[in-house]
Every structure is written in C-alpha cells, then in structure tokens.
Structure 1
C-alpha cells in the first residue's frame, strides 16, 4: 500500500501513469539519499494520474518526436475568457519586462513567458494550452469530478504523505478537504499557484476574503516555492490558508524554475517526506 501519493500538474495530457510515477520516484529517491534520509521503497509510492481526463473521447494524442505537434494551433486570440487572461497576466508578472513594439498585450505576455523558459522550451501555443487546462479544471464540473475520481483507491490507510505539484496542488487540496476520513500526515505542495486570487476564489471550497480557509485535514502542510517560479507567484500560503503552513523558499535555477524534478531533489522536500513517514 502507498505510503507516499504523488499528484502531477499541467502538461501530462499525453503521458502515462507509469512513466510519470517512475520519473518522479527517481527524483524523490535521489533527493532523499543526497540529503541523508532512507528513501521510501518504490512499492510504497503511488501516483494520482489524471492527465488523460483532458483528452477528448477517442483522442490518440501527439505522435512523433515533437510532443507539441498534436496540440491545437492556438494563438493570442484564443485566450478570451476572463479567467484565462487573469492567469496569463499573473504568470507573466514575475518574468522579465516585455519588449516595445509588440502587437498586443496578450501577445506581449506570451512572449515574456516564452523567453522566461517558465515551462521549459515550449511554444506559445503550449503555454495557451496549459492555461486552458487550469481554466477547464476550475470551470468544467464534469472534468473536475473525473479528475477527483482518480484519487479513489490510491489513498489508503497506509498513506502518510501527499506530494502535489502545480495544478496538482489544487487537485490535492480539494481532495483532502473532501475526505476528512483520510489519515494523511503531511501535504507537500511544490510550485503551487494556490495563492493566486483567480484560483483560490474558485476552489472547492472557495477561499473567501475575511473568512478562514478550510484546512485540508493533515497534521502538517509544507509549501515549497522556488524564488524564480512565476507559477508560484504568491510564495507564502500561510497568510491565506492558515498560519500552521510551513512556507519554504528554494532556488531551482532560471531554466528549471517550475520543474517538479528539481523540486523533488530539494532538501526541503526530502526532509518533509522523511518526517511525514517518521523516518527522519
């Protein structure tokens, strides 16, 4: 039974559970060994994989060496919804300033994100696609329920630690709030956008200004945010979700600022997992 449950973020639509779990486990194990902790066995780790919930029925996904070849040919005009534009502005806010002479505000923000390498070496259409994933999760009830259903049977009475990255931190927070019967000890969020008002106000349950946020039923919540990571624009979640959150800044480097693998190899993540398992 899984002692550690991992939940991914955006960009896993055309990947698969086994590949994601193997990749994450290797980084997790490396981080624990490098920090001097006994690593959890691979059989004690499970993944909540929901990427294919974003695929239409019968979709075959991208093929060939270019993983972005199968994406719709999105452009700036495809970002129309208020939430999508709000997310784009928020994610671009912490990057370098735009250049003069661009054709429009949306295009300028997209170019800033491309140059920042926030999500790796990806084209603008992939950035738009990823923003639309967040938008869809927060606004499409059937999709949200399908994603949440992926937790069924993954969390067991043996589960002590939940590790969630990026969009996965939203998914994990909602799942933990909805299941107070789970006996999870530690929630570790990595590169989380939970502090963005556009997101926190649309959570289930929503964060309402002036009201205390619902605690996700864990003994301890560790939030790790890279100082360079514009997705984790609000670095400290304690003022919003409760003073007991341990907000921990790290450095991932400019070209891996939002990388889950870089987060998983930090000493902060390794110690949090070891503490949650009682092996520190």
Structure 2
C-alpha cells in the first residue's frame, strides 16, 4: 500500500483536556474553517483541510497520565467568542490542581527552577508588549494581556504551568487520583515516540504540531531520544521553550548549550503571540537555540485576539500558522 504524502502529529498543551477524540475534532475544526475572526486575520484566510488532501492526522495525548479519563466536558471556550475566564476554565487553569503537590526530596536545583519559572510567568502576566499598543487600543476590552485576572487565578495559572514543567523536566513520579503511578518524563516520551513511529510508517514525511507544554516534549524527544524517527517539520505555538530555566534542563548530554535537533529534524517554525502569557517571557527562539549544519529556528510573530491568547484554536486560526502547516504538508491553498 502506498504511503500518504504526509502525516501530521498534534501534541496538546498543559492541564486537563477533553477526550482524545473530542480534542482532535476541536483542533481540526480550528484549522479547517474558512476566515475565522476576520478582525484579527483579514480574509481571505482559508482553512487547511488535511484529510481531504491525503494527509493523515494523529494525536499524542498525554493528559491521561495526569488525569486518567477525567475529561474536560465543557468545550465552548475553544470557540471564538468565549471570555478569558471561560478559556482558562476549559483548560483547567482557573484554579490550582490539588493533585500537583510538591514532590518529596526537592533538590536545591529543583527549587531554583520552580522559583525562577514562576517568577518569569508572574512578570509576564502583568506586562503588555509596546509593539501591540495600537492593537490593544483599537480592540477595546477584546485586546489586553492577562494582568486583569484576579491574583488567585494568576497564581493558579502559574502554579499549574510550573508544576507540569517541573514534573516533566525532572522526571518526577506522579500518582493519579486512581492510584496509577508514572515517571512523567519517561511516560510522555514513550507516548510521543510511539505516535511518531506509527505516523512515519504510513507517510512519506512527518509534521509535528505542538502547543504550550507539549512543545517541551516535542523538542526533548527530537533532541534527546536516539530512537525517534526523523521529522520533517516541527511547529511550536505558545511555547515556554524560550525560558532559560527550561532550556537548562533540555540541553543534550553531548552539547554545551541548547541547540537545533538537526539529527532528527529538518525545519522548525515557532509561532508566537507576544501577549500570550505562557510564551511571552521570551517568545523568540532563534537567538537561543544554536543553529546546527545550517538549520535554525524560524520565529514568526502572529498576534491572535482576546484577553487570554494562549488558547490553541486562536493559534490555529492564524493565517501564518496555517500557511506553515500547509507548506509543510505540501497542500496548496490557492
């Protein structure tokens, strides 16, 4: 049987999610619809329809490691006109998760990581990017950074992001509510390795589209797992990989600094909104990740909309992100 022209693997971001099938449906809806939010992305902004163009899709779904089958049931905040509070709620970010307790035996290095990571997000949740001043002014309440959030909500966002990063980067043991126990980094790596291998078996090339905390997993597997299959294009969106403390924990054993994973990857495109509180602390990567053998990160600035700009469907509506996915998959949008 001939292979598909390409396979796209999606990786979601932090916190609790809808079921795997529902989340995949939401991501595809976000990518496929024509001319979404024309106030942010002027028409024409045609959707990218992967399946009808011979491109297979699959999901590396890892929320079950933390939450089992306790799926998010409220999906409306993934759609256009939700409030910032409802977008936070649908990602489980409006309140801290009591299951994320500080692990026992925290080392000084781990404590320093948590303090620095939280400090960077705390600062970013209060700051606007001056380059977006006109956009914020013209958009009234629709365009503002998340500094308006109550302090308790901001702290919940910061704590959950920090704890997921911590459990992953330091491969901490996590016990779910049902008693199942995982070594987080090992478990998530295995999930992505298996998903990529399956995609590679059915397609000529693999494209990896990642969001938020999922971008850490994507980079880690491409750079630090020798048994990872080759990937043609990595697309990161709303990524915390610009945070130095994250980079410090992802440096390969054969490298002196963080670098492009050239042995497994051909192209890397990083899409960022400077008002996204998760990536805004340091949204550009080309100046951090050392180019290797002529391969370097391409940073693309694409502001989306709203008071909470981290939502994946906001990114998937972007004309630049859509163009990047379509080009990688060999799909014409004319």
TM-score tier, shorter chain, comes to 0.7 to 0.9
Separation of aligned partners in 1, 2:321 and 2:253: 27
Q: RMSD between aligned alpha carbons? A: 3.6
Task: Report 1:225-236 matches (<5 A).
Answer: 225-232=272-279, 233-236=281-284
CA contact (8 A) 1:114 1:124 kept: no
Following TM superposition, by how much is the alpha carbon of 1:94 offset from its aligned partner in structure 2, in angstroms? 2.5
Q: 1:37 to 1:214 in 2, by over 3 A?
A: same
Q: 1:212 to 1:132 in 2, by over 3 A?
A: closer
Deviation string, structure 1 residues 60-88 (Cα, Å, up to 9, x no partner): 7489988668932989xxx9932222111
Aligned partner of 1:24 among 27, 40, 54 = 27
* Alignment pair present for 1:96 and 2:126: yes
Q: TM-score, normalised by structure 1?
A: 0.77
Aligned partner of 1:11 among 12, 15, 21 = 15
Separation of aligned partners in 2, 1:206 and 1:64: 41
Separation of aligned partners in 1, 2:327 and 2:71: 40
Following TM superposition, by how much is the alpha carbon of 1:30 offset from its aligned partner in structure 2, in angstroms? 2.2
Following TM superposition, by how much is the alpha carbon of 1:212 offset from its aligned partner in structure 2, in angstroms? 4.6
Separation of aligned partners in 1, 2:33 and 2:121: 29
Task: Report 1:244-255 matches (<5 A).
Answer: 244-255=296-307
The residue that corresponds to 1:194 in the other structure is 241
Following TM superposition, by how much is the alpha carbon of 1:231 offset from its aligned partner in structure 2, in angstroms? 1.6
Separation of aligned partners in 1, 2:71 and 2:31: 28
The residue that corresponds to 2:285 in the other structure is 237
CA contact (8 A) 1:27 1:264 kept: yes
Following TM superposition, by how much is the alpha carbon of 1:151 offset from its aligned partner in structure 2, in angstroms? 1.8
Q: Secondary structure at the match of 1:154?
A: helix
Separation of aligned partners in 1, 2:249 and 2:288: 14
CA contact (8 A) 1:189 1:224 kept: yes
* Alignment pair present for 1:136 and 2:151: no
Task: Report 1:155-194 matches (<5 A).
Answer: 155=196, 156-157=199-200, 158=203, 159-177=205-223, 178-179=225-226, 182-194=229-241
Task: Report 1:200-239 matches (<5 A).
Answer: 200-203=247-250, 205=252, 212-215=259-262, 217-232=264-279, 233-239=281-287
* Alignment pair present for 1:151 and 2:192: yes
Q: Which runs of 5+ in 2 are unaligned?
A: 37-43, 75-88, 128-144, 173-182
Q: 1:200 to 1:70 in 2, by over 3 A?
A: closer
Following TM superposition, by how much is the alpha carbon of 1:37 offset from its aligned partner in structure 2, in angstroms? 5.9
Deviation string, structure 1 residues 158-209 (Cα, Å, up to 9, x no partner): 1521100111001011122225762321110001111111100001627966
Q: Which runs of 5+ in 1 are unaligned?
A: 98-112
Q: 1:53 to 1:91 in 2, by over 3 A?
A: same
* Alignment pair present for 1:50 and 2:54: no
Larger mean CA deviation between 270-279 and 180-189 belongs to 180-189
CA contact (8 A) 2:31 2:47 kept: no
CA contact (8 A) 2:219 2:261 kept: no
Q: For this pair of structures, how many residues does the alignment match?
A: 257
